Structure 1
Amino acid sequence: MTGSRARAPKGQGGLLREHLLDIAGRILEADGPGALTIRAVATTAGVTPPAVYLHFASKQDLVHATCLRVWSSLFDELEAVSRGIPDPVTALHETCVAYITFGLQHPAQYRLVMDGEATEASRHNEDACFRYFRDKVTACRDAGVPMDSTTETARLLCAGAHGAVSLLIHQERDTWPSDTGRYVARAASAAVHGALLTAARTAPPSLSAVTRSG
């Protein structure tokens, strides 16, 4: 819908902001980040570009607000899948599954926040994700998993989960594994087992160690 739009009544600016984010989200999902501009959102909303700038100082702010709006649901999803699981290692695995699944379901938002130009908002989001996983790793240590450093272990875990997402979302979808559920489960297992099994030792893997573990 194009054309003029009356200025939002006093006290309803937040409603317009949410409306603009709704539109921005649809544009991002349908046409990609290149199509998400201040002018495109303004035109679709039936307002002038200055009306959009009242809520977003730049295109980058608009893009990141759009992405972080989706990201805000991630922690609820992570808590939902791990809540009630008494084994902290199993809970950590399910959390990684949910994280990787989230990234694959929202590839544009994931790329822009985690791999794009950093902003204060994206840095805050990345820090929140890291601290969340470190808390889960700490629960594993407290339950008896040998560990030299929860920070280092969480860092390696995040590298595995992030890599599993990034490997696919930077490719065309027709190159993705035919069974993404299996890919996600194995990637999560690799990240958790790799991080926890090496949390207190750094000996390189060997054929004998691998065959014994099988």
Structure 2
Amino acid sequence: MAGIASPSPTALYFTSNLGTRRLKAVSWSGKSVSGNVTRRRNLRVAAEVKFVNAEEAKQLIATEGYKVVDVRDKTQFERAHIKSCHHIPLFIFNEDNDLGTIVKRTVHNNFSGLFFGLPFTKLNPEFVKSVRNEFSQDSKLLLVCQEGLRSAAAASRLEEAGYDNIACVTSGLQSVKPGTFESVGSTELQNAGKAGLITIQGKISAVLGTVLVCALLFITFFPDQAEKLFPSS
């Protein structure tokens, strides 16, 4: 008859010229009915997540066979993405219709959505499952997002799911120079996160500045006409 076992996990770390590695050792011990102590061990070597710049990421793809997984939402992905990448979003559009969500969505759309073009999203509950459907646990995955935060969060989830060969682009695609990767979309990779009123802020400022300068020159050189147009109270 099997005994009652209790887990006792331990972790060892070591370094090599290939980077930091983590050795996980999990043991279970317990007593059988006859009183004999039984032990089982399960050892797994797990690599730390690599954080690389754009040029290093390009090398990982070309020389080490890393597959690019874009974890951004659909809107940013459609504006620009690395050619032949896999799109598995960490966040998806939140179309729930409960009262609380409707209020939050309305507030979001009138501020963040309006000014920054950010969609109202929620965590994708099928993210890890979707990755598993496309990649085995020994696959080499390069996770990318726009700023670097979502890819780091996605890497953490995949590590917990048993994926050991994961890399992320530090600071995300916003730090990628034009031409670094072959891309698809209507804009450059580093500009895919720009949308909403903020994208025309510069143009508005230029127009307003021009109007103000012209008004100042008009008042300076044609004071009589300016007085007629803008009579003082």
| Common fold by TM > 0.5 | no
Structure with more helix by fraction: 1
TM interval, shorter chain, is under 0.3
Scaled by the length of structure 2, the TM-score of the pair is 0.24
Structure with the higher strand share, 1 or 2 = 2
User: TM-score by structure 1 length?
Assistant: 0.25
Task: State which structure, 1 or 2, has the greater radius of gyration over its C-alpha atoms.
Answer: 2
